[in-house]
């Protein structure tokens, strides 16, 4: 492509190119202009541009914002900071181990480059851990790509985790070309099955993680006691999945995590259970001396029905 020549002639310029920018350039073939659907190219590591000149700046940290308008709901930075603390304490690590094993099980031996999208990646911990673990004992190269509608989340991701392509984008209009991904992860996050079907290769898989009724039940007992949300069921979500994707495998992952009061306060801030809850209930949860929390998930692996 022509921009290769342009960049090589720029040697000696003082512009420091971040790892994120290099990753975007290496993976530029996946990008699709969110305005017109054209392919895109990198312009001097400053922006990505389509053939019709729709231009999106690459941030200094090396992520690109491909949203055409700001999202209706804005999750605060605090939420992602709390989520980051909970992730860093290893709360999700057993779940991530299962995801890694399922990825191994679902990639064929003959491919040496596997591209994984985390759709709704939040502040990036899950994807970066999965890629790190996959890379440990394989010759295969695993390239992670993370999208989230929250700019705050992507900013944290691009600061903390290098080697991954990070984009602010909407899962309802994924700014990537058809059939570019071997694996799409969708972890505790909304889905858009028609977009997932479009971007997954015909032999690729979608791995979706949904909470089970036991997930955070110690908190659910406090926040939702006596309401219709006291018992959570994921039946509808799983049914919706199977209408759109052929289910290849499902796994239950259940464990318990011990945590201190400070970690508990971050967990409370992070979970939608507490959003909109009265201050007294949040205080009550904090004072409850909960020192163990149940993690309980279903992991579903599926193949697109349309792609066969």
Q: Which residues bind Zn ion (CB under 5 A)?
A: 33, 35-36, 38, 50, 52, 54
Q: Is the Cβ of residue 38 or residue 195 nearer to Zn ion in the bound state?
A: 38
Q: Is the Cβ of residue 35 or residue 177 nearer to Zn ion in the bound state?
A: 35
Instruction: Please report how close the Cβ of residue 143 comes to Zn ion at its closest, in angstroms.
Output: 24
Give CA–CA dist 206/170, Å, rounded. Answer: 17
Instruction: Please report how close the Cβ of residue 26 comes to Zn ion at its closest, in angstroms.
Output: 21
Q: What is the DSSP string of 30-43?
A: GBB-TTT--BEEEE
Instruction: Please report how close the Cβ of residue 239 comes to Zn ion at its closest, in angstroms.
Output: 37
Q: Nearest 5°: CA angle at 35, between 308 and 20?
A: 80
CA–chain centroid gap for 80, Å, is 13
Other CB atoms within 10 A of residue 102 CB: 20
Instruction: Please report how close the Cβ of residue 50 comes to Zn ion at its closest, in angstroms.
Output: 3
Return the structure tokens found at 224: 């939702």
178 by DSSP, 3-state: which? coil
Instruction: Please report how close the Cβ of residue 89 comes to Zn ion at its closest, in angstroms.
Output: 42
Q: Is the Cβ of residue 35 or residue 67 nearer to Zn ion in the bound state?
A: 35
Q: Is the Cβ of residue 29 or residue 291 nearer to Zn ion in the bound state?
A: 29
Residues linked to residue 168 through DSSP beta bridges, in sequence order: 65, 148
1 by DSSP, 3-state: which? coil
Instruction: Please report how close the Cβ of residue 57 comes to Zn ion at its closest, in angstroms.
Output: 15
Instruction: Please report how close the Cβ of residue 103 comes to Zn ion at its closest, in angstroms.
Output: 33
First to last CA, the chain: 32
Return the structure tokens found at 143: 């390239």
CA–chain centroid gap for 206, Å, is 12
Pairing of strands 165-168, 63-65: parallel
Residue nearest to Zn ion (CB): 33
Residue 261, φ and ψ in degrees, nearest 5: -60, -40
Q: Which helix (H) or strand (E) holds 240?
A: helix 235-244
CA–chain centroid gap for 195, Å, is 15
Q: Is the Cβ of residue 33 or residue 290 nearer to Zn ion in the bound state?
A: 33
Return the structure tokens found at 30: 């996946």
């Amino acid at each position: 492509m022509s921009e290769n020549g342009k960049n090589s002639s720029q040697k000696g310029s003082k512009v420091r190119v971040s790892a994120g920018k290099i990753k975007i350039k290496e993976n530029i073939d996946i990008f699709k202009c969110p305005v017109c659907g054209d392919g895109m190219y990198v312009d001097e590591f400053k922006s990505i541009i389509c053939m019709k000149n729709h231009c999106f700046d690459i941030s200094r940290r090396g992520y690109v914002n491909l949203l055409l308008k700001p999202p209706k709901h804005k999750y605060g930075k605090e939420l992602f900071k709390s989520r980051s603390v909970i992730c860093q304490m290893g709360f999700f690590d057993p779940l991530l181990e299962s995801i890694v094993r399922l990825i191994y099980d679902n990639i064929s031996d003959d491919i040496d480059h596997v591209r994984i999208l985390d759709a709704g990646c939040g502040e990036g911990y899950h994807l970066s851990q999965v890629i790190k673990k996959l890379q440990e004992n394989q010759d295969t190269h695993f390239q992670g790509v993370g999208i989230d509608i929250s700019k705050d989340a992507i900013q944290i991701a691009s600061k903390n985790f290098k080697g991954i392509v990070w984009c602010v984008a909407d899962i309802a209009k994924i700014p990537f070309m058809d059939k570019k991904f071997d694996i799409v992860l969708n972890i505790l996050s909304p889905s858009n099955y028609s977009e997932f079907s479009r971007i997954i290769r015909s032999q690729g898989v979608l791995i979706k993680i949904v909470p089970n009724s036991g997930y955070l039940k110690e908190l659910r007992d406090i926040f939702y006691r006596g309401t219709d949300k006291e018992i959570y069921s994921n039946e509808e979500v799983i049914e919706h999945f199977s209408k759109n994707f052929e289910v290849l495998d499902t796994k239950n992952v259940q464990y318990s995590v011990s945590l201190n009061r400070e970690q508990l306060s971050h967990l409370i801030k992070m979970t939608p259970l507490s959003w909109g809850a009265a201050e007294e209930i949040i205080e009550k949860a904090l004072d409850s001396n909960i020192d163990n929390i149940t993690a309980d998930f279903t992991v579903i692996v599926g193949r697109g029905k349309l792609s066969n």
